Structure 1
Amino acid sequence: MATNIKDKIAKLLALAESPNENEARAALLKARELMAEHKLRPEEIKKAEKAKVIRDVLDVTCTSMTNPWACSLSAVIAAHYCCRAYRTQKFAGSRTVKIGLVGLEEDFEIAKRIFLYAYDCVMSYIKREIKKDPTDPPGTYREKCNAYGWGFVQGVKAAFEKQDEENREWGLVLVVPQAVDDSMKDMGKASTFGRIHDNHISYRAKGYKDGTEFDPTTRLSGMPERAAIGG
């Protein structure tokens, strides 16, 4: 494959990071068109020194009871940005896990920022809008919070799927590089974490709506303080 084609695609991908939405979109579409035409994968475009695989644990913890939706949210966002998500126990036998991401260096940074932003959007809504009612049965507040969180995850997933359907030519680029999957061979098989319950449908519906409207390009003026869901 001619080096100049790879260089051209690399330059287009760099332009795709432009703050000008139209310019970025046009550059990305052209880059993906060329990659499909020449059957190139993302890692074949990145220069060797930029193709480093990063695997790191983030400062987000969860349990199967308190905020299990966070693991699913990380998986949905990671996959859309050419990365993988995983969870790891704080120590053997612990019910608390931390969320980690794996990806090529540039992809990792993007996926990390977007996941943390999405997580903070959910937590900010929960802290602001969902109040504990002393007359509720034990665990009700936690269930309401999780209902909203699960809904948000489903909404984000639906939004990404719609975006992919509308831009099928992105397909070849929106794949996880083989080097990323190879780096995870020492990990166990993927498994589910927590489950969605059919109660508090109104909170799940609100979360779904907010998830479909989630805009990764929006910048927070100040990141909301993270908080565990208790009670």
Structure 2
Amino acid sequence: MDIKVIEKIKKLLALSESSNENEAQLSLLKAQELLVKHKLSLKEVKEFKVYNSEIKEKRSNVSFTKAKWKARLGRLIAENFGCYMYYKTHRTQTITFFGREEDIIICTIVLEYAIDSINSKVRRLRYQYSKDGYSTRGVENDYALGFISGLAEKFEEQKRKNQEWGLILVKDKEVTEAHENIKFKGSINTSTKFQGHDGAYYEGQDDGKQFSISDKIAEEQTEEQLGLA
């Protein structure tokens, strides 16, 4: 069994997360093509993950001090892509994923792309708010909270529409047991409250529902850039 082929199929399945049927089709069809070509089943792909893929932790490039919404976003992504999330602390909190190696790759791709999307939109909102004479204090926080809420809805919709896909991404027993054996020191307060920008929140919520990693695939145009080849 070719490990690289299995990993590519798993990534394609994970990246076909768009609730838009047309957007999801490209990744799903590619995964299906590889399954047929190599005479594999989805069950074999799932079982391969349990026995052959290394369980590890990996720090992302995402750190925060005041932007605590990043913690909520990271945890949501980890929960929906088969991983756990915690922090490495040294002046700032660095989001760290724990799970199967290929699932960590997906979590990292989705987290970094989501944050890029949030930051890009927040820059435009701040410009518009300033231009109109409104305070921008708390705009980033409220837009991000709305985005996370919309993304959570999107994930739940995906699970309802594609139960088999959800099974592939669930945490397996070995990952759960390995995580339970980690000894953590203390805890970090990552709670953050709505600051009152209704417009930013609801705009974020709409964008979260529409968020798709497929956009990144189309933008970069090559599988190599996502580590799929």
Aligned pairs (5 A) from 1:205-224: 205-219=202-216, 220=219
Q: Which has the higher helix share?
A: 2
Contact 2:7–2:102 (8 Å) recurs in 1: no
Contact 2:85–2:95 (8 Å) recurs in 1: yes
Contact 1:15–1:27 (8 Å) recurs in 2: no
From the superposition, tell whether residues 168 and 194 of structure 1 become closer, same or farther in structure 2 (CA, over 3 Å).
Answer: same
Write out per-residue CA displacement over residues 31-57 of structure 1, whole angstroms, 9 at most, x where no aligned residue.
9x863xxxx894x32385x41122122
Select 1:165's aligned residue among 152, 160, 179: 160
Contact 1:73–1:115 (8 Å) recurs in 2: yes
Report the alpha carbon displacement of residue 106 of structure 1 after superposing the two structures with TM.
Answer: 1.1
Structure 2 residue identity aligned to 1:45:
F
From the superposition, tell whether residues 34 and 61 of structure 1 become closer, same or farther in structure 2 (CA, over 3 Å).
Answer: closer
From the superposition, tell whether residues 103 and 120 of structure 1 become closer, same or farther in structure 2 (CA, over 3 Å).
Answer: same
145-154 or 191-200: bigger deviation: 191-200
Q: Residue 115 of structure 1 corresponds to which residue in structure 2?
A: 111
- 1:57 partnered with 2:59: yes
Q: Residue 204 of structure 1 corresponds to which residue in structure 2?
A: 201
Select 2:96's aligned residue among 89, 97, 100: 100
Contact 1:78–1:84 (8 Å) recurs in 2: yes
Q: Residue 20 of structure 1 corresponds to which residue in structure 2?
A: 26
Report the alpha carbon displacement of residue 190 of structure 1 after superposing the two structures with TM.
Answer: 7.8
Q: Residue 140 of structure 2 corresponds to which residue in structure 1?
A: 145
Write out per-residue CA displacement over residues 204-230 of structure 1, whole angstroms, 9 at most, x where no aligned residue.
000000000001122255xxxxxxxxx
Percent identity for Structure 1 against Structure 2: 24
* Structure 2 gap ranges (5+): 13-24, 221-229
Contact 1:16–1:28 (8 Å) recurs in 2: no
Structure 1 residue identity aligned to 2:62:
V
| C-alpha distance in 2 between matches for 1:104 and 1:12 | 13
Report the alpha carbon displacement of residue 12 of structure 1 after superposing the two structures with TM.
Answer: 7.2
| C-alpha distance in 2 between matches for 1:98 and 1:166 | 33
Structure 2 residue identity aligned to 1:193:
T
What SS does structure 2 have at the residue aligned with 1:193? coil
Write out per-residue CA displacement over residues 109-150 of structure 1, whole angstroms, 9 at most, x where no aligned residue.
1111111111111011112332364965xxx52411100011
What SS does structure 2 have at the residue aligned with 1:106? helix
| C-alpha distance in 2 between matches for 1:52 and 1:102 | 11
Write out per-residue CA displacement over residues 133-186 of structure 1, whole angstroms, 9 at most, x where no aligned residue.
4965xxx52411100011111111110100101112334323112332333332
Q: Residue 193 of structure 1 corresponds to which residue in structure 2?
A: 190
| C-alpha distance in 2 between matches for 1:214 and 1:192 | 27
Considering only aligned residues, what root-mean-square deviation do their CA atoms show, in Å?
3.6
From the superposition, tell whether residues 13 and 58 of structure 1 become closer, same or farther in structure 2 (CA, over 3 Å).
Answer: closer
Q: TM-score, normalised by structure 1?
A: 0.70
| C-alpha distance in 1 between matches for 2:7 and 2:200 | 39
Report the alpha carbon displacement of residue 25 of structure 1 after superposing the two structures with TM.
Answer: 6.3
Contact 2:63–2:93 (8 Å) recurs in 1: yes
* Structure 1 gap ranges (5+): 1-6, 222-231
Contact 2:81–2:103 (8 Å) recurs in 1: yes
| C-alpha distance in 1 between matches for 2:34 and 2:146 | 30
Contact 1:155–1:209 (8 Å) recurs in 2: yes
192-201 or 107-116: bigger deviation: 192-201
Structure 2 residue identity aligned to 1:78:
A
